[in-house]
Amino acid sequence: MWLGVIGVAIFSLTLPFTRMAVAELNPVFVALGRAVVAAFGSAALLWYLGAVRPTMAQWRALTIVSLGVVVGFPLFATLAMVYVPASHGAIVLGILPLATALFGALRCGERPSPGFWLAALAGSAIVIGFALTDHGEAGNGLHWADLALFAAVIAAAMGYAEGARLSQTMGGQQVISWALVLALPILLPVTAWFGWRYGVVASPRAWAGFVYVSLFSMFIGFFFWYKGLALGGIARVGQTQLVQPFLTLVGAALILHEPLQLRQILFACAVIAVVAIGRRMPVRR
């Protein structure tokens, strides 16, 4: 559970730093370029570890991981950050724990109890209710950019569940590293073209956001996250994601000076209570 919490804490700052980067850099360049930077670090790590080349079955699973967390989630989430605040995106992404549990049950043979599903549904209902009643910069209710965020949720949940399954035999470091290396031959030329076409001149602040999402969101955070999912189970450890929207709210307030309201704190308390209940529910593996 603590490994999961550390991973969530790292991921919780992804949206604020992404919004910081896309304020001056092309969003597709940011979304794909972060994976390119992380892929070079991954290649160096795999060489240092003397990692064994994955089997054909593992390559197929790594393709799913790449499509989910290396390409899908960064691309959809980054595009959304061009149009909605990080605080708004944080709440919409709050349904990610439920989606992760669903993919875990379908792909990895986990069988959560009815009590767990009630807790997951309650937590997701809380964050969706927050999004529907949000009166922030994005306005009230859902927006078309939320479709991109929902797509990001599906992509991330798919990648999380598949990566957690692989981590049981490969280790979390190797799973995300091989997934990044696998995507590099495609992402590198695309990223280079977007950088050439739209330019890479930006302030140190924008580049600081890019560096964070490249090294921490795309690389280091997965070491903790996949290891936690592999040890504690996708459904149970995935519940720690319920607090991620509210960690993101705090990060958005500190980094981007987006307003932090009392009602947001109250919603955070409600979600944390649901997490405490959900983690006590049995999950058969």
pLDDT at residue 72 greater than cutoff 50? yes
Q: What tokens does 65 get?
A: 């991981």
Per-residue pLDDT tens over the stretch 165-186: 888 888 778 999 999 999 999 9
**Banded pLDDT at 135 (limits 50, 70, 90):** low
> Which residues, in sequence order, are CB contacts of 33 under 8 Å at separation 6+?
191, 194, 195, 210, 214
Cα–Cα distance between 191 and 157 in angstroms, integer?
25
Question: Are 242 and 94 a contacting pair, CB within 8 Å?
Answer: yes
pLDDT at residue 250 greater than cutoff 50? yes
Q: What tokens does 74 get?
A: 């960064």
- Across the range 224-233, mean pLDDT stands at 84
pLDDT attached to residue 205:
95
pLDDT attached to residue 151:
92
Among the listed residues 219, 92, 107, the one whose alpha carbon sits nearest the alpha carbon of residue 151? 92
Q: What integer best gives the mean pLDDT of the chain?
A: 86
**Banded pLDDT at 234 (limits 50, 70, 90):** confident
Cα–Cα distance between 61 and 126 in angstroms, integer?
33
Highest mean pLDDT among 60-69, 157-166, 266-275: 60-69
Inter-helix orientation angle 244-255/262-278, to 10°:
150
pLDDT attached to residue 142:
60
Q: What angle do CA 125, 128, 132 make, to 5 degrees?
A: 130
Per cent of the chain over pLDDT 70 is: 95
- Across the range 4-30, mean pLDDT stands at 93
Q: Whole-model pTM?
A: 0.85
Q: What tokens does 3 get?
A: 């490994």
- Our measurement of the distance from residue 116's CA atom to the centroid of its chain's CA atoms, rounded to an integer in Å, reads 22
pLDDT attached to residue 33:
95
User: How does 158-182 read in b/e, with b if 16+ C-beta sit within 10 Å?
Assistant: bbbbbbbbbbeebbbbbbbbbbbbb
Q: What is the DSSP string of 55-111?
A: PHHHHHHHHHHIIIIIIIHHHHHHHHHTTS-HHHHHHHGGGHHHHHHHHHHHHH--E
Sorted by where each begins, the domain ranges of the chain are: 2-284
Residue 213: how many other CB atoms lie within 10 Å: 30
